[in-house]
Structure 1
Amino acid sequence: MPGLKLFRTDTTNSGMTEVTPRLAEVEADVQGLVEAHMERLLGVRFLASEYGTGPVHDGRIDSLGLDENGSPVIVEYKRGVDAGVINQGLFYLGWLMDHRAEFQTLVRDRLGVTTAAQVLWSAPRLICVAGGFTRYDVHAVREHRRSIDLVRYRFFGKDLLGLETVASITGRTPAAKRVRLRAAGLPPVRGHSGALAEAVDEVLLGLGDGVSRVQRKQYRGYQRLRNFACVCPPQKTKLLVYLKTDPRDVDIVPGFTRDVTGLGHHGTGDLEVQLRSERDVERSLELFRVSYEAA
């Protein structure tokens, strides 16, 4: 983002005016804006701000949340570049894993009993939002077996906010991309639809670095910063994939794609893709890529 230049077209002046990027005046400005729109910006439901960790740990977690798949999320903010943000976040992540009952009580009070019972403790996440990160920060997060997202922000003008994912670490080794479904602890799949599920799994994991796969009972989610695809268990004749793509931007093809905006279904996403053959998987590649790049 430091190299990004943003211009506003202006037909009454020189025709083009540069919008200068800037950092927040204070860290709280970033935190307040993200917390007010956390689900839209990060795909995380907001739970609490400045959450105290008690007298023993003597700290305050900037933001606590729950992502689309039910994973606990800690969000830490820094106005500029601060080497301490990652270690601070990891410290709080360790605290969170030792205080699961307390977190679930918070979820129950804010989001209800059902949501609290479905918290996914196998994939807790740390999101660091800061004015910048160094190459040493990116290297450091790769050394940890945790899911960590480094997000750089910039304000443009008076009313524009830019977010850039600098690194998204899943805590898995690159070789994990090639792991078959059974080896990953997922239920075995058989038949033609099962083969399609394995092919889609390989394609989605191979879209880029930092793709995380989260298994829920009703679906398998693929996320970058947010979910970009959800794959339901194979049916007898087809495989359903839900994408974070606006159906209005897609030519809907009956029997292949469907607008499910406002319709109940497992996972997240408003575009349903129905796969019945390897050719359908090939037809879906561009849709997968667009959804991935938007996450």
Structure 2
Amino acid sequence: MVGLKLFNTAGGTVEVLPRLAEVEADVQALVEAHMETMLSIKFLASEYVIDCVDGGRIDSLGLDENGAPVIVEYKRGTDAGVINQGLYYMAWLTNHKDAFRGLVRDRLGVAAASQILWSAPRLICVAGDFTRYDVHAVREHRRSIDLVRYRYFGSDHFGLETVASVTGHSARAKRVRRRVAGASSVRHQGGAIAELVAAIDEVLVGLGDGVTRVQRKQYLAYQRLRNFACLIPPQQTKVLVYLKADPTAVDLAPGFTRDVTGLGHHGTGDLEVQLRTERDLERAQDLFRLSYAAA
């Protein structure tokens, strides 16, 4: 985004210069007010006071679309301490699950509180910029961390750019990779479908840097900052993938793509893609890229 140039072409061509917030609180208030739209995270609490010896206030607490706990920390500009501060709060969160569970129950209900994905807590740092040392540091931690750069453009536009996205190097992450690699063991799944699942996984992970997998019982999510694809456990003859691409912007093909807006289904996304063969996977790749770009 630092290199992005934005122009207003209404009544001429005028460059809209990027700027930082006047104060950190402005960024926090804007993101919290629109957290689900911007980050696909349900907002839970602001300036949450933690109960421990050293104390502290978590800028924002939320629950992402896969049910994972999320801490969001903000800085107006570049701040070398934002990652360590966030990791301190992450440690508190994982050691005080009952407090977070109670918060989710009060805000979102009993069902949401019972389905929290404790194996994949996330830290999102939103700041004016990050150094190369910040990017290197997140790769050394065993946590899921997203570094997100913000910019205001004029008075009406606000941009978020993922600078780095790292998934935790946990035993759970290794199990997810083994589960995908061993897709042939899934019940009533033939060899051809197993190979197709592995090929779909390779394509989705290969769309760009920072793609992470999040395993839930009903689906396997592929996540950038937000989910961009959800793979449903394969059926006998086909694999279903749900994408965040806008179904109204796609030429739907019966038996291949379907608008499921408002229809109940596992995973996230309103565009259903049905894959039966490697040829279907080739047809779907533009849709995969479209959804990845939207995330």
Asked if these proteins are the same fold (TM beyond 0.5), I'd say: yes
- TM-score normalised per structure 2: 0.94
Q: How is 1:197-212 mapped onto 2 (pairs within 5 angstroms)?
A: 197-212=197-212
How far does the alpha carbon of each residue in 1:107-143 deviate from its partner, in whole angstroms, 9 at most, with x for none? 0111011111100011100000000001110001010
Which letter does structure 2 place at the counterpart of 1:266?
Answer: H
> Aligned match of 1:165 in 159, 162, 165?
162
> Aligned match of 2:26 in 11, 26, 29?
29
Do the aligned partners of 2:44 and 2:63 also contact (CA within 8 Å) in 1? yes
Do the aligned partners of 2:259 and 2:271 also contact (CA within 8 Å) in 1? yes
Corresponding residue for 1:252? 252
- TM-score normalised per structure 1: 0.94
1:117 and 2:78 aligned? no
Q: Number of aligned pairs? A: 290
Deviation at 1:55, TM superposition (A): 4.3
How far does the alpha carbon of each residue in 1:234-254 deviate from its partner, in whole angstroms, 9 at most, with x for none? 111111100000011111001
Which letter does structure 2 place at the counterpart of 1:91?
Answer: Y
Deviation at 1:56, TM superposition (A): 1.3
Deviation at 1:172, TM superposition (A): 3.6
How many percent identity over aligned positions? 72
Do the aligned partners of 1:224 and 1:292 also contact (CA within 8 Å) in 2? yes
Corresponding residue for 1:213? 213
Do the aligned partners of 1:71 and 1:119 also contact (CA within 8 Å) in 2? yes
Corresponding residue for 2:75? 78
1:145 and 2:158 aligned? no
Structure 1 runs (4+) deviating above 6 angstroms are 175-178
Corresponding residue for 2:287? 287
Corresponding residue for 2:239? 239
How far does the alpha carbon of each residue in 1:51-106 deviate from its partner, in whole angstroms, 9 at most, with x for none? 01124131000000000000000000000010100110011001100001111111
Query: For the residues of structure 2 that align with 1:18 and 1:183, how far apart are their CA atoms?
Result: 48
Deviation at 1:262, TM superposition (A): 1.0
1:91 and 2:88 aligned? yes
Corresponding residue for 2:179? 181
Runs of 5+ in structure 2 lacking a partner? none
Rate the CA distance shift 1:179–1:111 in 2: closer, same or farther, 3 A.
Answer: closer
Do the aligned partners of 2:229 and 2:269 also contact (CA within 8 Å) in 1? yes
Do the aligned partners of 2:180 and 2:198 also contact (CA within 8 Å) in 1? no
Which letter does structure 2 place at the counterpart of 1:181?
Answer: R
Query: For the residues of structure 2 that align with 1:74 and 1:259, how far apart are their CA atoms?
Result: 33
Rate the CA distance shift 1:177–1:25 in 2: closer, same or farther, 3 A.
Answer: farther
Deviation at 1:5, TM superposition (A): 1.3
Deviation at 1:289, TM superposition (A): 1.2
Do the aligned partners of 1:51 and 1:64 also contact (CA within 8 Å) in 2? yes
Corresponding residue for 2:9? 9
SS state at 1:96 partner: helix
Query: For the residues of structure 2 that align with 1:215 and 1:179, how far apart are their CA atoms?
Result: 10
Rate the CA distance shift 1:177–1:277 in 2: closer, same or farther, 3 A.
Answer: farther
Which letter does structure 1 place at the counterpart of 2:286?
Answer: E
Do the aligned partners of 1:180 and 1:198 also contact (CA within 8 Å) in 2? no
> Aligned match of 2:98 in 83, 92, 101?
101
Which letter does structure 2 place at the counterpart of 1:105?
Answer: G
SS state at 2:43 partner: strand
Rate the CA distance shift 1:154–1:177 in 2: closer, same or farther, 3 A.
Answer: farther
Corresponding residue for 1:276? 276
Query: For the residues of structure 2 that align with 1:256 and 1:63, how far apart are their CA atoms?
Result: 40
